[in-house]
Chains A and B, each alone.
Chain A
């Protein structure tokens, strides 16, 4: 087993969906991505960013419209059986056979692989052993999702693709999936995962790639990404007596000392700052001069979520523009 170099390489990956009678959709427009052996790489991005499209092209389930893809040093169309034996897949949406039991399903999947994983061990690792004899149709949504992950593990894969494995899971079930991913990593195996949970990405992923509108717009470890947006702190506050529109204040707040960015939030403002001790007194002074009163003020450390918002925040305006265009 190769353990150095990239496990996944894609360069200038493109995908255009052509539906008869509809405008073609450019889901990927030159996406570059590299995953190293043994790391857990997270794909983060808003709905429709192209995460599932990317992952399904990497899984060899969807043809790309252009660009280069290499998985475990091999290409789809040349070494498909070998590749299939070495990867494990959990699709964003899998509906397994309703009438089979949990154990029968995992045994069926493991029978396809060169390395047939032990179905009972796999179920145990996902806390599904209680449901061993239950029919798939009787499982809850979260249990079905864990079963989908169990099927991904059935062939003891060295590269694991998980498309939103924890969406809709309760906290304990999420932890079970996290545990699986950690064990993958300890075993020197690679995981590519998509998620909408920032805390999950921050906790699990060695590196995170932020995908937006069919491109990777930032990639790095969670810490690096947080550092990259400049500030370490976020000041969130609301005004008590402002009649003006929130946007009219943005310019005012952006000029305060050490402010890197100012975002309008649902009920106030968020400033990304490097030195809160300089910013807060200046903010209070400026508000006083404008006869504005603070309704609330809190500070916290920058999280991956802030990175996400600051990177993809432009999405809204771009989408609005796109909506007006046709």
Chain B
């Protein structure tokens, strides 16, 4: 904002010095500059836009960071039936530091499993019976762990000596995975909403019609919207990276330049998509629907909250073709692994292609009235 203010003050200063007649030839206002200033003002004078661009992503990062912060080794909650033959099993499970035991009747145990309050139930049967839901990945892990503890408690020796070494070193935790994904998600949301919504709103108000009734050059308009979006994005990205760094110690391995390039390419890509989505819509319902159709698959598949590679191989070509998948891949590579830009030519090319094609297409089909 300081720069725009400077431009204004300088212009005001000139106005003060020169009489009106002389201003015509010397102090011409630049239409691109005025359009850019107007966009900036419309943005920073809208508290809700400020919140959604800066406040909300940071709150989300903090919330998720706290929810998934490293808690040492996660304890497994196990339900144990309160039955005499299980006394020894119960004693060895309660002793284990990695297990939290809940004791109750068989029906209580079944209830805990159903509600997800326990991963596994140990029931008295002919020997010991494990009850769990095999579709929960955590439950299968719990079964292995509980079985191991029970067998060892009963005197089974370890065939091979093992030591646990857990990955809580900075750079390998969930939050380290999450922060680049959130950067990507915000670049997507900001580009699509920040451009798409604003343009449709201007169309509904007939402000676009009023602008096109002047000799304004269309490209000045598009560049001003794009330029303003890039300007709003810089503090947003810095704030997110700083939040990750200061609150959760998220390490940034790559150079600031490489990160900036990936972010800029990603921002342009989504700005292009936002412009395309907004190029004809003349109702808020239309643009909101379009945005959801575009963003929903990427929220789910593009590896914001968990790795995209978890989805079946059959849909991987589709997932890899999504711009957010490519952006997240590139962001994780440069931020977490310190990868070079040249190693990221593929995602960068795909993103640039998305941006360019949608921008050009949008210009062709754009409706002003």
Chain A residues with CB under 8 Å of chain B are 59-62, 81, 84-85, 89, 91, 93-97, 99-100, 104, 107-116, 118, 121, 135, 151, 154-155
Contact = CB atoms under 8 A, between A and B. Distances in A.
5 contacts: A96-B210, A97-B38, A99-B45, A113-B214, A155-B214
B207 A121 contact: no
Question: What is the interface of chain A mostly: helix, strand, loop, or mixed?
Answer: loop
Interface stretch (B29-37, B68-76, B91-99, B165-173): B29-37
A94 B20 contact: no
Contacts of A107: 29, 34
A97 B24 CA distance: 26
Q: Which of A61, A108, A113 has the most CB of B within 10 A?
A: A108
A95 B206 contact: yes
A112 B35 CA distance: 9
A93 B213 CA distance: 13
A89 B23 CA distance: 24
B16 interface: no
Given A91-B213, A96-B207, A116 B38 contact: no
Interface in B192-240: 202, 205-207, 209-210, 212-216
B215 A84 contact: yes
A99 B46 contact: yes
B115 interface: no
Contacts of A96: 207, 210
B215 A81 contact: yes
B356 interface: no
Q: Which of A111, A114, A115 has the most CB of B within 10 A?
A: A111
Given A93-B206, A104-B38, A108-B38, A116 B214 contact: no
Contacts of A112: 31, 214-216
Contacts of A151: 210
A62 B213 CA distance: 11
Contact of B35 (A59, A93, A95, A108): A108
A91 B216 contact: no
B369 interface: yes
A118 B20 contact: yes
B35 A100 contact: no
Interface size class of B (residues with CB under 8 A): 20 to 34
Nearest to B213: A89
A95 B205 contact: yes
Nearest to A105: B38
Given A104-B38, A112-B31, A91 B206 contact: yes
A111 B30 contact: yes
A238 to B, nearest CB: 45
Contacts of B206: 91, 93-95
B41 interface: yes
A111 B45 CA distance: 22
A60 B209 CA distance: 11
Given A97-B42, A99-B45, A118-B23, A91 B34 contact: no
Given A99-B42, A100-B42, A118-B23, A85 B215 contact: yes
A84 B209 contact: no
B214 A84 contact: yes
Contacts of A61: 209, 212-213, 369
B28 interface: yes
A154 B24 CA distance: 13
B92 to A, nearest CB: 68
Nearest to B11: A107
Nearest to A118: B20
B46 A116 contact: no
Contact of A114 (B33, B37, B215): B215
Contacts of A155: 214-215
Interface string B34-55: 1101100110011000000000
Contacts of B369: 61-62
A302 to B, nearest CB: 38
Contacts of A84: 213-215
A111 B29 CA distance: 5
Contact of A99 (B24, B33, B41): B41
A84 B191 CA distance: 31
B170 to A, nearest CB: 42
Nearest to A137: B45
Closest 3 CB pairs of A and B: A84-B215, A111-B29, A95-B205
Contact of B210 (A60, A91, A111, A118): A91
Contacts of B30: 111
Given A85-B215, A111-B35, A155-B215, 6 more contacts: A59-B213, A60-B213, A91-B213, A93-B206, A94-B206, A118-B23
Nearest to A151: B210
B213 to A, nearest CB: 5
A111 B34 CA distance: 7
A176 B140 CA distance: 81
B210 A94 contact: yes
A180 B209 CA distance: 24
Contact of B214 (A99, A109, A135): A109
